[in-house]
Amino acid sequence: MKENSAQRHILIVDNDTRIVAEMVRALSLRDHLQIHTCTNGADALQALQQNTFDLIIADWHVPQVDGITLIRHAQERSAETVTVLMSHYSIAEAQSLSATPVAHHYLTKPFAMDDLISVIDSIFPAITNHSPKVAHVLKVVLGGDANVGKTSLIQRYCTGLFDPTRAMTIGVDFHLYDLEIEQEPLRLVVWDLGGQERFSFARQAFYRGTQAVGLVFDASNRTSFYNLMRWWRETREYLPGVPVLMLANKIDLPRQISTEEAQQIAQAWNIQLFESSCATGDGVNEFFHALAQSAWEHLHALTATK
Ligand code: GDP
Ligand code: MG
């Protein structure tokens, strides 16, 4: 998982998706953070078994496996993992309820995002300073069925690498990419909603404040193309007026969906079609640049009408 030694990997666990989305938004202005989120304890446990995190921030009362158990698991896996426990209890109440101190830091809910930032900055003092170069943060979301290649696309775009053995995404991942459009330094934050496909209502909070959406299907898999309709309806419901791009991925494999067939649907929805392969790298940069450009134009249109 560690593709860059300066990166710090953070796992956030809370079933309150609004709080998770707010925390991610606050942290996306910090540098060098790779944020991963889970909204239940079972997913978090699986993520902890697959990866070593530098920091885990867990709510005490998450469904299936509670935050204290998760923190203990993280500490057993690596003694270096810094732990933060969140709950509605005050520190005194928390101490009286749990015999031994379990976490390095404690956040009493509701907390201000500045409190979260202070904790993060105290844990990683040298690396996470606010990046003054960035003028705007663009939030884009990737939707589409599991296995269509969303995580691989982000990896390919951010690192130029393709790892065919990568483990499946559990929960929601976030990736930062700094770029310039029209000489403006921008930070693209890509939200990969992949691991949340089971429940569309759980995704609602993650859509807030999105400036562009990429809907990805696997050109070698007809079902993933048919299911794009559900993703399309969902984005129209939660993000009316936000630009959407369609992406046919895995074009290196034998195709079940031709360009012409995909183009017909894209035209019916009045959106642009792109094609890519993470294996060869074809079309990946073009897609993300178009996504960033659409997000930038949407942000402009919003600020112009205010
Ligand atoms: P996600 O669930 O949408 O995030 O999909 P992943 O990125 O995890 O990819 C699912 C599987 O498809 C993995 O085995 C990838 O290696 C593979 N994959 C992703 N993109 C491509 C591609 O463009 N070509 C080929 N041949 N395989 C791909
Ligand atoms: Mg994924």
| Helices 113-123 & 17-27 angle (0-180, nearest 10) | 60
Q: Going by CA atoms, what residue is nearest to atom 15 of ligand 1?
A: 164
Q: Are 63 and 70 in contact (CB under 8 A)?
A: no
Q: Are 262 and 246 in contact (CB under 8 A)?
A: yes
Number of the ligand closest to the Cα of 283 = 1
Q: What is the pLDDT of residue 166?
A: 62
Which of 50, 152, 192, when mutated, tests ligand 1's pocket best, judged by the most ligand atoms within 8 Å of its CB? 152
pLDDT at 83: 94
The residue among 228 and 5 whose pLDDT is bigger is 228
What pLDDT is stored for residue 2 in this prediction?
A: 37
Q: What is the mean pLDDT of residues 275-291?
A: 97
Residues 139-154 pLDDT 10s:
999 999 889 999 899 8
Q: What is the DSSP string of 168-228?
A: PP-EEEEEEEEEEETTEEEEEEEEEEEETTT-HHHHHHHHTT--EEEEEEETT-HHHHHTH
Q: Residue 30's CB: how many other CB atoms inside 10 A?
A: 20
Residue whose CA lies nearest to ligand 1 atom number 6: 149
Q: Say if residue 290's pLDDT is above 60.
A: yes
Ligand 2 centroid to Cα of residue 152, in Å, is 7
Ligand 1 pocket residue status of 249, Cβ below 6 Å: yes
What is residue 278's predicted lDDT score, i.e. its pLDDT?
A: 96
The predicted pLDDT at position 1 comes to 37
C-alpha 28/C-alpha 32 separation (Å) is 9
pLDDT of 236 higher than 60: yes
For residue 145, the CA-to-ligand 2 centroid distance in Å is: 9
What average pLDDT does range 276-302 have in this prediction? 95
Q: What is the pLDDT of residues 169-190, one digit of tens each?
A: 666 777 888 888 888 888 899 9
Cα 108 to middle of ligand 2, angstroms = 32
pLDDT tens by residue, 49-79 = 988 999 999 999 999 999 999 999 999 999 9
Mutate to test the pocket of ligand 1, among 50, 142, 147, 286 (most ligand atoms within 8 A of CB): 147
- Rounded to the nearest integer, the mean pLDDT of the chain is 88
- Say how many Å lie between the first and final Cα of the chain, rounded: 42
Pocket flag, ligand 1, residue 168 (CB < 6 Å): yes
Average pLDDT over residues 17-37: 87
In the structure, what pLDDT confidence band is assigned to residue 3 with cuts at 50, 70 and 90?
very low
| Average pLDDT over every residue of 275-298 | 96
**Better-scored residue on pLDDT, 115 or 193:** 115
How far apart CA 252 and CA 134 sit, in angstroms, is 36
pLDDT at site 176: 83
pLDDT tens for 80-108 read: 999 999 999 887 787 777 766 688 999 99
pTM: 0.83
Per residue in 195-230, pLDDT (tens digit) is 555 556 667 888 989 999 999 999 999 999 999 999
**Which of 1-5, 158-162, 264-268 is predicted most confidently?**
264-268
Distance from C-alpha of 115 to C-alpha of 23, rounded to nearest angstrom: 11
